Structure 1
Amino acid sequence: MNRFQIAALGAVLLAAQAEAVITGQVVDATDLQPVADARVRIQTTTGDPVLTDASGQFVITDVPAGSVVVTAVPTYDSSRAINYITGAASAADGDDVFITLQRMPANDLPPPYEPGSSFTCSACHADQHSEWQDSNHSNAGVNEWVLDLYSGTGTPGGSAGYVFRDTHDPGDTGFCATCHAPLEDAQNPGNVFLDEIGLIGAFDGVTCLACHQMAEVNENVSALHHLGNTLYRFPDDGSFTPFWVWGPLDDVSFSTMRASYQPQFKESRFCASCHEYNNPDTGAPGQNTYTEWLASPFAVEGPDFQACQDCHMPAASEPGPISSLGGQPVRPPEQRRSHRFTGATPTTLSDAIELDLQAIQQGEELVVTANVTNAGAGHHFPTGISIRNALLVIEARIDGNPLTQSGGDVVPFYGSATSTDGPDDLAGLPGKGFARVLEGRINGEGPTVRPVLFIDAEGVSSDTRIPSGQTDSSVYRFDLSGITENTNAEVSARLIYRRAWRDTVVTKGWTTTPTGGPIEIEVDNQALSLPIAGIPPLPTFPVPGPGLGALLALALGLLLMGFGLGRRATR
């Protein structure tokens, strides 16, 4: 072997020695049998994990210097007989480790049981709990608007107008508690009355455990939450504790949490458990936000792909722990998600929805074109429950006086309340409405009415909402025939988002949303000034008046004509 070959061999040996490697085996803690397909990684790292082979063996390369924590867990699968919580072991470069995985109990606690308050979680997750308290998920079980519509008990004026329990059979729950108080309704699916909930976790609404004890969401997305597409689990190990949780991270090794890995927490289908459902009896749509997302540009795999969580649970801006306890591992920003669940706000709406206004004169008409583009929302605008709506209002004035509309749409009936006629009552004005108006018979009896809530819906009266990535274009015409001199026309467009039908707001006496926000948000407004060429009146010419002689000749002629007609008639 010459000196060049010796040098090359030495370089290879040095490279092999420089490669940091941790090896090991993952086994079942009960029978010490190997666990295949467990996801193994160094805690807080990103990227794909290493999977154990059939003998439970794994090899991790590119190990950083010093001591690290190696974690392991298989993906949760309800069809598998045995599932596990995450296990961990400390290791360093060159170590061979042995990780044992504790089994998750196969059986769940029988009801009744008390899942506990969200404040239990706040002891270790103060930041997430604080964010959640500002969200619409918080206190969903006592949402004033929902209770007003359900039992008339949310606000002082809540008993006015439509009240579900006053108009339906005594045993009809309406399924409101299914999503608004899921921790109680999960114990007796579909049979809990929202105004009769009693558990602390139910009053919290869509609380921490309402999501993190959802073990799976199947493909039956048109079913209503745990009435068909969601699997809630409260494992029974003989001494109940609420801390059996599922989540999107496969390396949470804190033993008290008993964490299992469920990748659906990062998928839009997870949100579909409550935000996608139809009327169980008629099939009429309730919410179809997930289906809308599937049809959107954001659902296409690629650089622009975004799941629901990417918008509504954005990543943190800097690294940090996910627990407020001391000594917790520091995680990258993408593993630290907001729990405010931000939805429609003035900022998010103005960022997502674009309004463009154009106007030209065409002869004796002013022609206005308004384009509303759903550029940034991953679903229809508006989306969610059917009482959400938006209005486009067009105005055209000259010298402060409104021009008469000669063509185009007008704001539909739901732009006004039936009992008022104020500045917020906009029905009949030039413009357009964006909403899905459901129709049906109340409790399946009587005449068909609109709009109705999904529980009374038998069909869709109209759906003018704007799908993600699409533009709605509408044209409005205004009469200029009376404008005789050159002047300017002032044209404006307002796009307004309303969280509820105007008539419902007035009837119930609502002044703010249940969280204290505005009921109406101006998404955008545009204005322009357009020179108008006056249309002068047609010229007139004087007609000379007849003289006295001409008038006498005309009278004599008419007399003779009458005499001649009379003689013919007597023959």
Structure 2
Amino acid sequence: MRHENQSMRNVMFSYRSLVLLAVLAPSAHAQISGQVLDSLSLAPIGGALVTLQATTTRTTTAADGTYTLPIASGANLTIVAANKGHYNASISTSAPSTGNQILLEAVPTMDNGAYPFLTPTNCGMCHYDQLAEWIASPMAEAGQNTWVYDVYNGLGSPGGLGGFVYTRDSVFAATNPNSECAACHQPEPWIMSPGRALEDISQLSASAMHGISCEVCHKIAHIDESKLNFPGIFPGVVEFSQPYSPDQVEYGVFGDSDINMGWMRSSYQPQLTATMCAACHQDSNDHDEDGDFEDAGGVISEPTYYEWLATPYADPADPRAATCVTCHMPGTDATKASSLPFAPTRQAGQIREHRIVGTTPEFLENSCELKVRPARQVGRYLNVDVFVTNTGAGHHVPTGVTVRNMILLVEAWRISDGQKLKSVGSQMVHDLGGIGDPALGYYAGLPGKLFAKVNHDAAGNGPTFYTDATGILWDNRIPALATDESAYRFVVPPGSGELRVRARLIYRRAFRSFVDAKQWTTTGHGQPLEDIAAPYYGHLMEEEEVRLNVPTGVR
């Protein structure tokens, strides 16, 4: 009997335990679930993002549009769904809950051909921080870049007619006088009238002076990734959205913005983190003028995007993963993306800086590591090995337009009297480092190395400007994470004493001969040009010195 009573108590305990677990289960595994559908067809949308707004709680819908967010509890939660090609949409719900349907409306594909771009000032009424950052950016000044004008028609600065001038010297000057400069440097006018030339620099419109403005980037609906060598906002490659009101769209990468105010509706566009940059930082020339910038025979002028794409940084699964935005638009401490009272509060670092810089001292001085192997004396010679590693850039160094270059200088001297050691090695700075007085920054022939991508024309002569290039003479720039090694030999002078070896890495915005031909004293944005300024005649990126004691009597 006692055994039967004990068995009954065990059964009752197990039953109560099951009931208790059933009661506790919803709170222990509480979720928000539902389905994302197209608002017109009611077709399920697979691959859509579903996010608890302003958090990292996010999931992706299954092929049937269903989703589940692991949210244990909460009331009045804003859940946002986003999918490329649709406006973002949100619901307010509580956790746990099921059957939460979110309808996404497709962004219209019909454009308003007379659409007036919102001015950056208009955008700044709600996005003040972003406007203030952008105003100080190279993007804001792109339409007024005097170097661009000096290369295009020679009218950007007093000496601009020196050296290569496209409208005068290019083999395409007669057949394509407008070129495609405006596709990147004055995109607002170009978008309204593709194929147009740069505006007269003395009579620039407000649209041209906006450079790469807010809406130039935030109106890009899609970029054909099979045609990235086409320049700028090119028709048929970059799909640009200019819907009629009240369907105005602004694309972004948050994926959880649910603004719907008529003049601005949010839409998710993941290409804005990197691919969008390729529109102007990856391009080739149209060597045969057939309108195809991807065909064989074209020479890539700016290879920056494809350089990045070939690195581990472009792999989202790699722990080193980083996009263009990661480096060039770092996160800020701001917690509000706009001044609107209902803007969600975000974590610090989620809102990106809009200065969008690249060749600032901070970037240049953190892109490479310079190492000098302890000098080795071999008889009467001093052997020096120098290593330059691209540790900080997600692309080659240098990168960008083909006039950019980097110079490594290596020298040795005796400390006691300053006597320079004679170089007898074969590794020397190329003539593009400048032929002339080294004291004035003409470094050709000195022990060292010039890093650049040098194009040639149909006659095999180079460097030539990329529009006229038919091939590449040489390209010794340093890919991301790669190391360049070069060796040097110096003659140890008679006598004894302590020797010092110094290596310096210097960045230049243009080949010295080109700078001289154009008589440039400032950058295209009006800043003092370091290329012609002592003591480095360029920007000092890295410097390292080593010492070596030479015994008395060594000859």
TM-score range, shorter chain: 0.7 to 0.9
In 1, are the aligned partners of 2:284 and 2:300 still within 8 Å (CA)? yes
Q: Which residue of 2 aligns with 1:234?
A: 241
Question: Are the aligned partners of 1:224 and 1:276 in contact in 2 as well (CA < 8 Å)?
Answer: yes
Match of 1:223 in 2: 230
1:290 and 2:327 matched: no
Contact 1:375–1:469 (CA<8 Å) still a contact in 2?
yes
Q: Secondary structure at the match of 1:116?
A: coil
> Are 1:189 and 2:199 matched, yes or no?
no
Please give the TM-score of this superposition, normalised by the length of structure 2: 0.85
Q: Which runs of 4+ in 1 moved over 6 A?
A: none
Aligned with residue 429 of structure 2, among 411, 430, 452:
411
State whether residues 126 and 340 of structure 2, in contact with CA within 8 Å, keep that contact through their aligned partners in structure 1: yes
**Match of residue 478, structure 1, among 490, 496, 506:** 490
Equivalent in the alignment of 2:323: 307
Amino acid at match of 1:151: N
Matches within 5 A, 1:59-98: 59-76=68-85, 84-93=86-95
Q: CA offsets per residue over residues 433-492 of structure 1, 9 Å max, x none? A: 011111215xxxxx5532222111111112111111111111111223xx3322222321
**Paired residues for 1:37-76 under 5 Å:** 37=46, 38-51=48-61, 54=64, 59-76=68-85
Q: 1:522 offset after TM fit, Å?
A: 0.2
Flag the 1:534–1:408 CA change in 2: closer, same or farther, 3 A. Answer: farther
Q: Indicate if the aligned counterparts of 1:495 and 1:523 stay in contact, CA closer than 8 A.
A: yes
- Quick one: which amino acid aligns to residue 430 of structure 1? P
Pair 535,16 (structure 1): closer, same or farther in 2 beyond 3 Å: same
Aligned 1:85-124 pairs, distance under 5 A? 85-93=87-95, 99-110=102-113, 113-124=115-126
Q: Deviations over 1:173-230 (max 9, x none)?
A: 2211111122222333334335479653332111111111111122222222333774
Give the gaps of 5 or more residues in structure 1.
Answer: 77-83, 442-446, 538-571
Residues 468 and 533 of structure 1, relative CA distance in 2, 3 Å threshold:
same
Q: Tell me if the contact between 1:147 and 1:195 (Cα under 8 Å) persists in the aligned partners.
A: no
In structure 2, relative to structure 1, the CA distance for the partners of 1:51 and 1:410 (3 Å cut) is same
Pick closer, same or farther for the CA change 1:536–1:513 going to 2, 3 Å.
closer
What letter is aligned with 1:471? Answer: T
Alignment partner of 2:337: what SS? coil
- Cα distance in structure 2, aligned partners of 1:471 and 1:230: 35
Q: Aligned partners of 1:291 and 1:34: how far apart in 2?
A: 36
Mean Cα displacement is larger for which, 98-107 or 325-334? Answer: 98-107
Q: Aligned partners of 2:115 and 2:197: how far apart in 1?
A: 15
CA distance in 2, matches of 1:306, 1:313: 11
Instruction: Tell which deviates more after alignment, 3-12 or 134-143.
Output: 3-12
Assess, with a 3 A threshold, how the Cα gap between structure 1 residues 66 and 411 changes in structure 2: closer, same or farther. same
Match of 2:283 in 1: 277
Contact 2:28–2:72 under 8 Å retained in 1: no
Shift of 1:353: 0.5
Which residue in 2 is equivalent to 1:467? 479
User: Out of 384, 389, 394, which is 1:373 matched to?
Assistant: 389
**2:3 maps to which residue?**
none
> Aligned AA for 2:239?
Y
Amino acid at match of 1:232: E
8 Å contact kept, 1:396–1:403: yes
Calculate percent identity across the aligned residue pairs: 33
Match of 1:245 in 2: 250
Residue matched to 1:163: 165
1:440 partner amino acid: D
Equivalent residue, structure 1, for 2:8: none
Equivalent position to 2:441, from 403, 406, 424: 424
Matched, 1:454 2:466: yes
How far the C-alpha of 1:45 sits from its partner, in A, is 2.4
- 1:323-334 equivalent positions in 2, closer than 5 A: 323-334=338-349
TM-score of the superposed pair, with normalisation by structure 1 = 0.83
Structure 2: give runs of 5+ residues left out of the alignment.
1-10, 288-296, 531-537
Aligned to 1:553: none
Displacement after TM superposition at 1:362 (Å): 1.0
How big is the shift at 1:409? 1.3
Matches within 5 A, 1:453-532: 453-480=465-492, 483-515=493-525, 516=527, 518-519=529-530, 520-532=538-550
> Counterparts of 1:326-405 in structure 2 under 5 Å?
326-358=341-373, 359-398=375-414, 399-405=417-423
Change (3 A) 1:412 1:92: same
> Could you tell me which residue of structure 2 aligns to residue 203 of structure 1?
209
User: Does the Cα contact within 8 Å between 1:490 and 1:528 map onto a contact in 2?
Assistant: yes
- Post-superposition CA distance 1:52-85 (Å, at most 9, x none): 774x665544154231222223332xxxxxxx31
Shift of 1:521: 0.8
Does the 8 Å contact 2:71/2:95 carry over to 1?
no
Measured in 2, the distance between the counterparts of 1:426 and 1:375 equals 25
Q: What is the aligned partner in structure 1 of residue 291 from structure 2?
A: none
What amino acid maps onto 1:109 in structure 2?
N
Structure 1 residue 314 displacement after superposition: 1.8
| 1:131-142 matches, cutoff 5 A | 131-142=133-144
Render the CA deviation track for 1:521-554: whole Å, top value 9, x for unaligned. 10111222322245578xxxxxxxxxxxxxxxxx
**What does the per-residue CA deviation read over 1:393-447, in whole Å, with 9 as the maximum and x for residues that have no partner?**
11122322222221131111111167x7752111111111011111215xxxxx5
Check conservation: 1:214, 1:230, Cα contact below 8 A. Answer: no
Q: Is the 8 A contact 2:403 2:511 kept in 1?
A: yes
- CA distance in 2: counterparts of 1:286 and 1:229, whole angstroms: 21
Partner in structure 1 of residue 131 of structure 2: 129
Q: SS of 1:66's equivalent?
A: strand
SS of structure 1 residue aligned to 2:177: coil
Deviates more, 1:355-364 or 1:380-389: 355-364
Would you say the 8 A contact 1:116–1:201 is kept in 2? Answer: no
Structure 1 residues 199, 260: CA separation in 2 closer, same or farther (over 3 Å shift)?
Answer: farther
Task: Indicate how the Cα distance of structure 1 residues 421 and 477 shifts in structure 2: closer, same or farther if over 3 A, else same.
Answer: closer
- The AA in structure 1 aligned to 2:186 is A
- Is the partner of 2:543 in helix, strand or coil? strand
CA shift for structure 1 position 127? 1.1
Aligned residue-pair number = 515
From the superposition, tell whether residues 18 and 32 of structure 1 become closer, same or farther in structure 2 (CA, over 3 Å). farther
CA distance in 1, matches of 2:52, 2:509: 46
Contact 1:439 1:457 in 2 (8 A): yes
- Aligned partners of 1:151 and 1:195 also within 8 Å: no
Distance 1:50 1:389, change over 3 A: closer
- Tell me whether 381-390 or 143-152 shows the greater mean CA deviation: 143-152
Q: Which residue type is aligned with residue 275 of structure 2? A: R
SS where residue 233 of structure 2 aligns? helix
The AA in structure 1 aligned to 2:418 is: G
1:412 maps to amino acid: H
Q: Which residue among 268, 279, 296 is the counterpart of 1:261?
A: 268
Q: Distance in 2 between matches of 1:296 and 1:230?
A: 24
- What does the per-residue CA deviation read over 1:480-518, in whole Å, with 9 as the maximum and x for residues that have no partner? 3xx332222232111100111112223323233234265
Structure exhibiting the larger radius of gyration computed from Cα positions: 1
1:408–1:228 Cα change, 3 Å: farther
Other-structure match for 2:293 = none
